[in-house]
Amino acid sequence: MTAGTHRRMMLVAHTGRSDVDITARKVAATLAAAGIDLLASEGERRELGLNPFEPADEGPDATEPSIEMVVAIGGDGTLLCAAEQARPLSAPILGINLGRVGFLTEVDLDDLDEALQAVVDQRYRVSSRMTVQVRVEHDGRFITGGWALNEISVEKGSRERILDVVVEVDGHGVSAYGCDGVLCATPTGSTAYTFSAGGPVLWPGVDALLIAPSNAHALFARSLVVSPESTVTVHIDPDGPTAILVCDGRRAHEIPPGSRVHVCKGERPVMLVRLTEQPFTDRLVRKFKLPVHGWRDQRH
């Protein structure tokens, strides 16, 4: 933001919880005391007594974003919700963790006062995170699409049926298998759903696409890490059941048998606010409570 620019920020919160309400009001009061407006969407602004956000001020001709950042109060799910608001605004997201793990969030509640002062003083940096985008075709026609910060998953639509797929990279078949689903993830998403499916953890600085089958029945069903320039295609058996396309676990679409799901690197990233220079390694150890002291420390 340039000097003299009126500062405006947007709030996205997991409302309906007393701790979220208390934290949101504290954030709003602190920012207001510094001359910063905190705005919110219709439902949240009524519950928290904030002014409404009017997206009409945003546009391709704007010299700079009218929203400096989006403040997300909750857990990783709330931050993914905030990403839907922040991405088209080209605004970074500051995650305040009131969830469980909160891997994507930057601030724990104990550090809130210090974090808000850093925001007021504009002592923060912005980290760019790769996204993925998806295009679904059936009989040569486009039927739906979307994007995700974490992952795009193609899942079986029926609990009783296996999803039979062929996975291709740049138009070349890699493997066919029956499975519960196939995930195409970013490095950011490697610590989320894909991690639970047995995929590897990728550092955010690795520019790549991650493919991870879920509960696959096949001799070769390993996770794959491919070039960010590649296109991953999941071809769904035309004689099988309907599948479900899910973006970030939030936006779901039914897709018919025989569809081809094309996934590639997203054209627009999501930006995250960072207040410290904490390495990703330290974040991984802290959030997952990994043991870093072992047999070496037992020697005398």
Q: Enumerate the active-site residues.
A: 76
Query: Which two structure tokens, joined as six digits, stand for 24?
Result: 């949101």
Query: Which two structure tokens, joined as six digits, stand for 145?
Result: 């699409």
Whole-number Å distance between alpha carbons of 20 and 170: 45
SS (H, E, C) 26-51: HHHHHHHHCCCEEEECHHHHHHHCCE
Query: Which two structure tokens, joined as six digits, stand for 291?
Result: 């043991």
Length of the chain measured in residues = 300
Residue 197's CB is within 10 A of a number of other CB atoms, namely 21
Task: Report long-range pairs for 170-175 (Cβ below 8 Å, ≥24 apart).
Answer: 170/230, 170/231, 171/231, 171/233, 174/224, 175/218, 175/220, 175/221
Note whether 31 and 90 are within 8 A (CB). Answer: no
Query: Which two structure tokens, joined as six digits, stand for 188?
Result: 């950011």
**Gyration radius of the chain over CA positions:** 21
Task: Report long-range pairs for 114-117 (Cβ below 8 Å, ≥24 apart).
Answer: 115/275, 116/27, 116/30, 116/31
* E strand or H helix at 179: strand 172-179
> Could you give phi then psi for residue 41, rounded to 5 degrees?
-70, 170
